[in-house]
Structure 1
Amino acid sequence: MLKISLVKKTLSILTVLIIFFMLGRILYLNIETLLKYDWQFKYHLLFPSLLFLALNYLIAAHVWTQILKMLGYTINLPQSFKITYLSAAGKYIPGKIWTYVSQIYLADKVGLPRRLTLVSMASMFVAYNGIAILFFISTLLLWESIPTHSAIILILLFSLVLLFILHPQVLTKAINFFLRFFKKEKVEFKVAYKSMLFLLGLLILDRVIFSIFAYLFINSFLALNLIEAIKFSGVFSVAVFLGVMTFIAPGGLGVREGVQSYLLSLFLPVSMAILIALAMRVWMTLGELACFLVALKIKEPELT
């Protein structure tokens, strides 16, 4: 078991290093393009971009409180924020499980049943990533290379699938099936379907807020119009999802940047695409660090 764990960690590190080496090499080979570009830095856009990023992170914590409420438990927003962003640091540890382990541990300290926390996290994973994929598919309407009718069909089909999966009765049965498999007690979502739709609307708003953040941040160093910013937000959404699903890379490191760079290079110079992907990683990591430090200052949460 120890040997397998060591092999996984080694593969994780090698994967990240190889991807970043390849991205760095491409940047180096295209350095002349970057040097010749007429850079116009707009530092005044950084602060408002940070505000929208903070709002984006805050909504994530709020969504978790709403899911817990659907399961019959209530914690306030500061409590949710503390647990969410202290545990989020675990995603940079190889293994992919540490975010979930730490979130369950911190939630358990305030009286949330471990089974309930796990169910709420699974529900949030499905809803958050479902909306992320739907958002990406929706942005395909802006891609000239994608036929409009094809994009519309994909949007409608995926929307129907997502609405079906997230129906309280369907979600409850699916989760209880897995709980029964692991010999755990059943759960029930105490919520009307319209409340779930409201939650999905909140997640869509979250994607819009992220698009505004992306537009402001990228335009602080690179001219990017609103349409391109929306396309980038869609690319980022699917890149994060693929990074999460790639269990070998901690925090989606390398994978996220690789996917972003490739997709962005379809409508931007490859050097610019890589630069945006790397800059976003740095800026968002700083945002996560800020959230972590704020979470440390929040008093030990108590169940209400």
Structure 2
Amino acid sequence: MSRQRILALARAVVAVAVVAALVWGIARNWSQISADLSRVSLGELLLSVVPAALGTWLTMLGWRVILADLGSPLHLAPAAGVFFVGQLGKYLPGSVWTVLVQADMASHLHVPRRRTGVAGLVTIGMSVLTGLLVGLPAVPLLLRQSGGGLVWVVLAVPVLALLLWPALLNRIVALGLRVLRREPLDRGLSARAVLLTVLLYCLAWLCFGLHIFVLARAVGGAAAEVAVPSLTGYALAGALGMLTVILPAGLGARDGILALVLASAIPLSAGAAVALVSRFVVTVVDVAAAGVGWAYARRHHLVRSRAEAPLPPV
């Protein structure tokens, strides 16, 4: 058996093990979790959709800023179509499907695949780093040690800020292209675009955190107690889940971490219920955004075959 097949098999085994552990944990405590799930009313469920949808929209805007800064500005309709449809690729194991789908769709709008690929990879990295930054206050809650945990939070802030520094990002991108034996980009990322995207992504993570806050309150959590775990816990869980590239959309990892962070303020079964409802809501938002974005772009003749598509404005 080749090395690639062994690695693929190992990744599959780990992914199955993580998901199986999640399913087993839910099944074992289903009576408690189901009781907490029943406490979430339809109104509260719909209310949680609003910040989740806003967070998803802000994520697209950040990707659009980076793509435009690299030399391919897109109007909102085609940008939404390319980004949101491509985002469905994260529900497949591996981290490259989203980028590949986005690169293929954007090429129909005369955007170079290399440029879309770099934009996709850069924004994935920025999403992870901003998620860790916003999620730093949740680290002590996850580790259950306020003293030592806070020390690591303070030390991590300058490290994450340095990794998001525009000059360093450009060097990392250039090095990556050189390692892959690809031609360098026509231009580097500007400080304005990087800082604007960081701001948009931090706001997006906070919106997802507000979505968790609504659900945590719905299962009985006190506002003062669930505020910090909710607003920062999803960012930490989401960022760490994105690092588990073998799991589709961080399935299992994100949900488990989020439940553990929320368990600092509400019972673990309630935290698991919130994680399950959140997974459902975010998935529905992703699918709906992809459908609406694609339909809007097609209706306005903005996503067509490569031969028919007009050249984007310079």
- TM bucket by the smaller chain? 0.7 to 0.9
Alignment-derived partner of residue 251 in structure 2: 253
Alpha-carbon distance change, 16 to 138 in structure 1, aligned in 2, over 3 angstroms: closer
Q: CA RMSD in A?
A: 3.0
Count of aligned pairs between the two proteins: 299
What does residue range 210-249 of structure 1 map to in structure 2 within 5 Å? 210-249=208-247
In structure 2, give the amino acid aligned to 1:129. Answer: V
Contact 2:209 2:235 in 1 (8 A): no
Alignment-derived partner of residue 20 in structure 1: 22
Alignment-derived partner of residue 110 in structure 2: 111
Contact 2:127 2:239 in 1 (8 A): no
Contact 1:71 1:189 in 2 (8 A): yes
d(CA) in 1 for partners of 2:208, 2:13: 32
d(CA) in 1 for partners of 2:85, 2:72: 20
1:134-181 deviation line (CA, Å, top 9, x unaligned): 111134578895446862x54443332233223222211111112112
Alignment-derived partner of residue 74 in structure 1: 73
Alpha-carbon distance change, 20 to 147 in structure 1, aligned in 2, over 3 angstroms: closer
Contact 2:132 2:236 in 1 (8 A): yes
Alpha-carbon distance change, 262 to 44 in structure 1, aligned in 2, over 3 angstroms: closer
Contact 2:129 2:239 in 1 (8 A): no
Is 2:197 the counterpart of 1:199? yes
Farther-moved stretch of structure 1 (176-185 vs 229-238): 229-238
> What is the CA-CA distance between 1:15 and the residue it aligns to?
2.6
Alpha-carbon distance change, 88 to 198 in structure 1, aligned in 2, over 3 angstroms: closer
Alpha-carbon distance change, 290 to 4 in structure 1, aligned in 2, over 3 angstroms: same
Alignment-derived partner of residue 49 in structure 2: 50
Contact 2:58 2:203 in 1 (8 A): no
d(CA) in 1 for partners of 2:259, 2:134: 18
Alpha-carbon distance change, 70 to 144 in structure 1, aligned in 2, over 3 angstroms: same
Is 2:140 the counterpart of 1:173? no
1:232-291 deviation line (CA, Å, top 9, x unaligned): 332222222222222322221122222223333344322112111111111111111211
d(CA) in 1 for partners of 2:236, 2:143: 19
Farther-moved stretch of structure 1 (103-112 vs 1-10): 1-10
Contact 2:67 2:119 in 1 (8 A): yes
Which 4+ stretches in 1 moved above 6 angstroms?
141-144
Task: Report the secondary structure of 2:135's partner residue.
Answer: helix
Contact 1:264 1:273 in 2 (8 A): yes
d(CA) in 2 for partners of 1:108, 1:280: 33
Farther-moved stretch of structure 1 (125-134 vs 246-255): 246-255
Alignment-derived partner of residue 137 in structure 2: 138
Q: Which consecutive unaligned segments of at least 5 residues does structure 2 have? A: 304-308
Contact 2:49 2:285 in 1 (8 A): yes
Alpha-carbon distance change, 250 to 139 in structure 1, aligned in 2, over 3 angstroms: closer
Q: How high is the sequence identity, in percent, across the aligned residues?
A: 21
